[in-house]
Amino acid sequence: MVSRKVVASLLVVYVVAMLAEQTEGYLAFFTRSDFERMQLQEKERNKAQRKSLMMQKRSEDGDVIKLSDTEGVEEGEIIKLTAPGETGMRLNAKQLEKYQHILEELLTEMLLDTRNVN
């Protein structure tokens, strides 16, 4: 006869396997150097955005704004972009079937919003 501990552990392994099969996400593993590189890239991107924003303000106002005025800008400050942004996502066939109705509703809302704006 098989002991209860063996049966329980096999049952736990089976349940974990079934849950893993249903999982649709992934977990990315980054090293410390990857995080540091990403932070450095983000800081450089923020500086470039700040600089382009200052140039845009200068061209709109017609006044000359010194770049030394950006010294008071904090790191966590939010910069609003005037250029349109793009958002994308990828779905496999199983996910598309699962979220089809929700995606249709979102698209209809977006289309109605753009018609109302125009």
If DSSP codes are grouped into helix, strand and coil, which group holds residue 78?
Answer: coil
Residue 56: pLDDT band (50, 70, 90) is confident
Residue 13: pLDDT band (50, 70, 90) is very high
Spatial contact of 22 and 33, defined as CB atoms under 8 Å apart: no
Closest by CA position to 70, among listed 83, 82, 79, 61:
79
Residue bearing the bigger pLDDT, 58 or 51: 51
Residue 28: pLDDT band (50, 70, 90) is low
The predicted model scores a pTM of 0.29
Residue 12: pLDDT band (50, 70, 90) is very high
Instruction: Let me know how long the chain is.
Output: 118
Spatial contact of 47 and 39, defined as CB atoms under 8 Å apart: no
Domain ranges across the chain: 32-70, 89-118
Distance CA 6, CA 11 (A): 9
Residue 33: pLDDT band (50, 70, 90) is confident
